Structure 1
Amino acid sequence: MPELGDLIEIFRLFYQHWAVYVGGGFVVHFVQEGGSGFSSSSSSSSSSSSSSSGSGDGKGAFVRKVKLRDAVEDSDWVVNNSLDHKYSHYSPEEIVRRARAKVGEKLRYDLIDYNCEHFANEMRYGVKESSQALRTVATGGLAGPLSWLGSKFKFN
């Protein structure tokens, strides 16, 4: 079981989704309205409030608190605090407080500039960073599919 403030990396077909573990079997994550679109896993919510900041692609993108099992669905997942070596992180209690404070907010989603990984890293480290977005830019948008293929097939 993850510990408070851990980042959860969820492996989807062509990308990874990210969430913050906030205890009691719940995570907070940044998800596009309508469910398992390119940036998200689940659109169920335990919050009904929202404040609009717009959305880069015309779809709503919200911060939601859901059960870990609902965010993961049938995907594999791991605890991934891999930026701990690069940045100092907030205390577990502060990470949870920061994430819970965002629940219900509508934020601008952008695959390259602010996606679910940016959100999760911002909650833990105070830094908006996404290695997934950097790979997407570097490969012209092929990072997710190439990463998935590499994980499923061994090429000699």
Structure 2
Amino acid sequence: MFPPHLLALIFISSATSQPPPEEEEEEKKKEKDRYDLMFSRGDLLEVPRTLFTHFGIYLGGGRVAHFIPDILPVVSSDQCRIKQMVTNTRLILGVLVKCGSVRVDSVEDFAYGAEIIVNPMDKMCSRAALQGEEVARRAEKLLGDVAYSLLWYNCEHFVMYCRYGTVMSFQTFQFCKTLRKMLLSRAVAKVTAVLAASLLIYLRVMNTWSILLAVLLPFLIWMAS
């Protein structure tokens, strides 16, 4: 068995290894003050992710309002779990079921280790930015569960509405433009025509409707290209 005085030393050292609550509160206050010097209330914050860019609105005090897909509010009512940082699994499942929420997280949780860019859309959007207080109030009014759509209503749509009063997404526009170039091209139209003709010959289906369908689909792709 350990001598009593050695156990006491171990207990004292472990008890004093953590800072007192007062020091923790002071550290948190310093962190919030530091972010308030870096950002202004109503700033649009952007962080690059692996496959996309994430956006949020700075509310002050080291807090960021952002729209993020999340499956947990659908399957649980435990607010303590829901308020925890959204994991990748929760995020992906939220995208699939089109469920999300506008929530408030710390700057650290929002950035997830990435570099933060401030108000990058001011140079891209034709509309002037609203006043910072109005931007923040708009974000705060939208807090809560919101239907999520990867293309039609995502985090960029949310911040664009809050800061500029317009619901749009440059990411969505660029994605649709790229997809259009890939699918609606003359090469795709030619390949579709060949495949359709080959399928008709292979299946030996030569009636009016099948031939019309085989001609119509490549024609529509050709005209849209």
Q: TM-score, normalised to structure 2's length?
A: 0.50
CA RMSD of aligned residues (A): 2.5
Query: Hey, what does 1:117 align to over in structure 2?
Result: 156
Query: Hey, what does 1:13 align to over in structure 2?
Result: 50
The count of aligned residue pairs is 125
SS in 2 for 1:138: helix
1:98 Cα deviation after fit: 0.9
Query: Hey, what does 2:134 align to over in structure 1?
Result: 94
- Tell me the alpha carbon deviations over residues 45-80 of structure 1, each in whole angstroms, 9 at most, x when there is no partner: 6xxxxxxxxx88424200001111111111222113
1:3 Cα deviation after fit: 1.3
1:89 Cα deviation after fit: 2.3
* Residue identity matched to 1:93: E
* Residue identity matched to 1:101: K
Counting aligned pairs with the same residue, the percent is: 32
1:5 Cα deviation after fit: 0.9
Tell me which of the two structures has the higher relative contact order, counting C-alpha pairs closer than 8 angstroms and 6 or more residues apart: 1
Structure 1: unaligned runs, 5 residues or longer: 36-42, 46-54, 142-156
Larger helix proportion, structure 1 or 2? 2
Distance 2:95 2:52 in 1: 19
Larger strand proportion, structure 1 or 2? 1
Q: TM-score, normalised to structure 1's length?
A: 0.71
1:34 Cα deviation after fit: 4.8
Structure 2: unaligned runs, 5 residues or longer: 1-37, 73-81, 85-93, 181-225
Query: Hey, what does 1:25 align to over in structure 2?
Result: 62
Distance 1:134 1:9 in 2: 17
